[in-house]
Amino acid sequence: MEAISLSFQDTILQSQGYFGPYGGCFVPEVLLPNLAAIAAAFEDIKTDADFLAELHQTLHDFSGRPTAFTPLPTLSAQIGGAQLFLKNEGLNHTGAHKINHCIGQALLAKRLGKKRIIAETGAGQHGYATAAVCARLGLDCTVYMGRIDYERQRPNVYWMELLGAKVVPVEDGSQTLNDAVIAAFKDWVAHPEETYYLLGSAVGPHPYPAMNTYFQKIVGEEIREQCIATTGRLPDACIACVGGGSNAMGMFFDFLDDTDVQLIGVEAGGRGEKPGEHAAKLRQGKVGVFEGYHSYFLQDQVGNIASTHSVSAGLDYCGVSPILAFLADEGRVQFEVASDEAALAAVQTLARAEGIIPALESAHAFAYAFKMAAQMPKDAIIVVNASGRGEKDLFITMRHFQEESLKTYARKLLND
């Protein structure tokens, strides 16, 4: 009998943990019962009308969905090419797309009877969203954050603590997102019964990649509806930054089977191409197993996880979603890179032309979009996922654009 060929969407949502050769569930045995329970609950909620009603009501009432679909007429005119639009996920409560899967997973955790939530965070947006949802639902919350990110994302650390979360700075390794993930897994292994690990991207062991994609796909669903309503047709290209892959999969999922829509993921090119200078997994990574799943990871010559760098904490991660690895192999998603310098320039360009300040993560997508738009005809349509807003990056962008102002502000704080 001839095998039935599934669409990309069905391949992801019907997956039992693998996307082509990628994915899986490579964890200590003590966690397997928890993951099996999460996988079973995830399958159940897909057809549970009451759960889905609560999910969408919470997304509307608490997070503020739908988010805006915003034309960028001034910037489009300045570039002189394609018409640019952005999906403003920064308008979500807590300032980024992360709250979409935080609401979904927290409701699922309550369904499982869990009262303690742990999470990892890099840029702080996932931790901030987790803390906010836990406060609303009455759940205990602990967030792990690499020491470097803990220092460079101080506004989000404050918000998490104000919301009642315990924020733990991780001193091991490179003290960034990768080490926060490891610390969260160690906590989960030590406290498997009472704890739910609210993982922050479309990575990790089954069922997290497909589950986070499922909770994020509302982004692309809204883009489809809004773009048709605004322009009369689908976009020619959708562009998103890629760290682990949650905002990219949220944007891309609804268009995976529309092959006329080009899907482009932009990784962190950092400050160079040498190991430790970037976080471009699909450009320079190797296939391996780490943190519970099989995908592309940045590795050294003997297979150890290599250090990474990005000006944006949320992209400063060694691995990428197994779903994106599969889509890259299939040629459905194209991957590019943008440097630290290009991302910082894109922040200033968008701010001054359109009055919108994006997160540094999202700025990588804008940097590539500006370059791409210039090469396209004026009737072409590009949509960029503005996955978060830029207040969290205050101290990083001030250091770049107004270093003397930042020093004056720091001296005033010390004197006060």
DSSP 245: S
Among the listed residues 87, 98, 217, 281, the single catalytic one is 98
d(CA 106, CA 393): 26
The confidence score (pLDDT) of residue 407 equals 66
Q: Where are the domain boundaries for CATH 3.40.50.1100 in the chain? A: 25-60+97-212, 67-95+217-401
304-351 pLDDT per residue, tens: 999 999 999 899 999 999 999 999 999 999 999 999 999 999 999 999
Question: Of 254, 321, 248, nearest to 282 (Cα)?
Answer: 321
CA distance 67 to 60: 10
C-beta neighbour count of 204 within 10 angstroms: 30
CATH code for the domain defined by 25-60+97-212: 3.40.50.1100
The predicted-structure confidence for 355-366, as pLDDT tens digits, reads as follows: 999 999 999 999
Q: Answer positive or negative: Cα dihedral of 45, 128, 322, 219.
A: positive
Give the pLDDT confidence of 45-98 residue by residue, as tens digits.
Answer: 999 999 999 999 999 999 999 999 999 999 999 999 999 999 999 999 999 999
pLDDT digits over 242-268, tens only? 999 999 999 999 999 999 999 999 999
The catalytic position among 15, 246, 321, 387 is 387
pLDDT tens for 200-230 read 999 999 999 999 999 999 999 999 999 999 9
**Is 361 marked active-site?**
no
Tell me the sheet residues that pair with 286.
297
Would you say residue 15 has pLDDT above 90? Answer: yes
- Compute the radius of gyration of the chain from its Cα atoms: 20
The token pair that represents 113 in the structure block:
């009877």
Per the annotation, the verdict on 120 as an active-site residue is yes
Q: Which two tokens stand for residue 104?
A: 């979904």
* CATH topology classification for 67-95+217-401: Rossmann fold (3.40.50)
CA 356 to chain centre: 19
Given 89, 120, 222, 267, the catalytic residue: 120
- Concerning whether 54 is annotated as a catalytic residue, the answer is no
Question: Within a 10 A sphere around the Cβ of 381, how many other Cβ atoms?
Answer: 23
